[in-house]
């Protein structure tokens, strides 16, 4: 059996006030060409189909067109889940009807979903679709108050699978989570850290033949070659400028995964960081002048109206700054940024409380804050 693993399309994404729908349509046409050429038995999309809970009309139309082509023209099953950017309620609409057309879209965690079973010459392959879910949702579904973190939530989910199925057979896990050891960028929205870390230990997934993950935008393997992020289909921030976007082709034999290949995706306009002197950039223009650019100027003296002058040659400059100043500020701010990113929502609130009041927040109040933050996160995902 052969299947394609992709994720993090983020349709409707806006980067530096630029709507990316045209760029996404361009690369998804490439994706369709790859699908026609490779003729896979299934396509996996591991979450974040949209960039926000209420996507723009153009994004919905694009997804509809791509899905319709794959399902009705190419007759290839799609196995997709919701990610932390998607609205579970909206994605779930019509999902039971879609299954009859072999569009398997798991948007809400229910705790009792059965795997999608596809067959090849060697027998069945079981695809477990586990949408992004907050620990509080899993705690409620399983009625287990000990579930407080993403790690504990997935432990409970996989333990139930292990009791119900023989995972030594060919079982594929499709999920959307932050596996410990993964390389992140500025693009990924931080997952909830209520009750602790958002990270999940990749060793949880040892029983599965292949683990198709979404959330991190860089294509990468975690712990072993069969636990993978396919990465996003486009660069969505300059922190991804050195990445090669791709989709992953996975082939199974009777024992499990026998071959994994990546096929690159070439954007209409690349996203690049370039540095140089102002007059050199004007007099000796760069190649691919219409790429999305972050230009770092090496000049130290005053420059009059650099952005407008450069934009006459490079129309898609998204960011312009001085290299020296940036480096100095980055060195000063980096420890503070890393320390702040490591804190949970409640820890940040507790720090703010202590700074304002001069005393630590009482333990009883922290429990109420946990509940309030969980409620807000749930509302944001459903709004």
Domain boundaries, the chain: 2-264, 271-322, 333-381
Q: Which two tokens stand for residue 191?
A: 């997952």
Q: Which two tokens stand for residue 209?
A: 């033949």
Question: How many whole angstroms separate alpha carbon 200 and alpha carbon 192?
Answer: 12
Model pLDDT for residues 204-214, shown as the tens digit of each residue: 999 999 999 99
Of 352 and 264, more confident = 264
Determine the distance from the C-alpha atom of residue 45 to the mean position of all C-alpha atoms in its chain, rounded to a whole number: 10
Task: Determine the length of the chain.
Answer: 383
Q: What is the pLDDT of residue 183?
A: 86
What band does 356 get if pLDDT is binned at 50, 70 and 90? Answer: low
**Closest to 354 measured CA to CA, from 344, 342, 366:** 366
Tell me which fold the domain 2-264 belongs to. Purple Acid Phosphatase; chain A, domain 2 (3.60.21)
Q: Residue 329 above 80 pLDDT?
A: no
Q: What is the pLDDT of residue 374?
A: 78
Model pLDDT for residues 287-312, shown as the tens digit of each residue: 999 999 999 999 988 899 999 999 99
Q: Which residue has the tokens 């071959």?
A: 259
Contact yes or no for 201/180 (Cβ under 8 A):
yes
Taking the model in full, what pTM does it have?
0.84
Mean pLDDT of 154-172: 95
Q: How many helices (H) and strands (E) does the chain have?
A: 11, 19
Cβ neighbours for 158, distance < 8 A, ≥ 6 positions apart: 173, 204, 205, 207
- Report the mean per-residue pLDDT for the chain: 90
Question: How many whole angstroms separate alpha carbon 201 and alpha carbon 240?
Answer: 24
Model pLDDT for residues 306-321, shown as the tens digit of each residue: 999 999 999 999 999 9
Q: Residue 236 above 90 pLDDT?
A: yes
Question: How many whole angstroms separate alpha carbon 176 and alpha carbon 132?
Answer: 5
Contact yes or no for 213/176 (Cβ under 8 A):
yes
Q: What is the pLDDT of residue 360?
A: 85
Determine the distance from the C-alpha atom of residue 127 to the mean position of all C-alpha atoms in its chain, rounded to a whole number: 19
CA dihedral 200, 204, 206, 208 (to 10 degrees): -90
Judge residue 211's burial from the number of C-beta atoms within 10 Å of its C-beta, 0-12 exposed, 13-18 middle, 19 or more buried.
buried
Q: Is the dihedral of CA 69, 74, 75, 78 positive or negative?
A: negative
**Closest to 251 measured CA to CA, from 243, 239, 261, 259:** 259
Q: Residue 340 above 80 pLDDT?
A: no
Question: How many whole angstroms separate alpha carbon 151 and alpha carbon 267?
Answer: 35
């Amino acid at each position: 059996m052969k299947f394609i693993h992709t994720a993090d399309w983020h349709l409707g994404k806006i980067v530096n006030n630029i709507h990316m729908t045209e760029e996404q349509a361009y690369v998804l046409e490439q994706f369709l060409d790859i699908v026609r050429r490779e003729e896979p038995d299934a396509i996996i999309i591991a979450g974040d189909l949209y960039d926000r809970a209420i996507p723009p009309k153009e994004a919905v139309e694009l997804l509809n067109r791509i899905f319709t082509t794959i399902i009705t023209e190419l007759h290839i099953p799609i196995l997709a889940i919701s990610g932390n950017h998607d609205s579970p309620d909206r994605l779930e609409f019509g999902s039971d009807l879609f299954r009859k057309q072999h569009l398997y879209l798991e948007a809400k965690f229910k705790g009792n979903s059965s795997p999608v079973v596809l067959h090849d010459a060697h027998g069945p392959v079981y695809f477990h679709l586990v949408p992004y879910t907050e620990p509080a949702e899993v705690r409620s579904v399983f009625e287990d108050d000990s579930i407080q973190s993403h790690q504990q939530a997935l432990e409970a989910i996989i333990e139930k699978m292990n009791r119900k199925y023989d995972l030594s057979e060919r079982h594929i896990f499709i999920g959307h989570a932050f596996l410990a050891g993964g390389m992140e960028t500025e693009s990924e929205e931080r997952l909830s850290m209520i009750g602790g870390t958002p990270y999940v230990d990749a060793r949880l997934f040892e029983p599965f033949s292949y683990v198709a993950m979404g959330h991190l935008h860089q294509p990468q393997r975690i712990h072993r070659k069969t636990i993978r992020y396919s990465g996003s289909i486009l660069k969505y921030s300059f922190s991804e400028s050195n990445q090669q976007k791709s989709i992953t082709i996975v082939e199974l034999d009777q024992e499990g995964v026998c071959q994994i290949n990546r096929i690159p995706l070439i954007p209409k306009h690349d996203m690049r960081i370039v540095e140089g002197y102002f007059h050199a950039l004007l007099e000796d223009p760069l190649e691919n002048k219409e790429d999305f650019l972050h230009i770092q100027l090496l000049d130290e003296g005053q420059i009059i109206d650099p952005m407008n002058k450069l934009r006459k040659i490079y129309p898609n400059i998204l960011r312009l700054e001085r290299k020296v100043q940036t480096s100095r500020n980055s060195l000063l701010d980096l420890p503070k940024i890393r320390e702040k990113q490591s804190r949970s929502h409640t820890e940040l609130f507790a720090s703010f409380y202590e700074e304002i009041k001069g005393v630590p927040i009482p333990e009883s109040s922290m429990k109420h804050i946990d509940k309030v933050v969980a409620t807000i996160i749930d509302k944001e995902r459903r709004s």
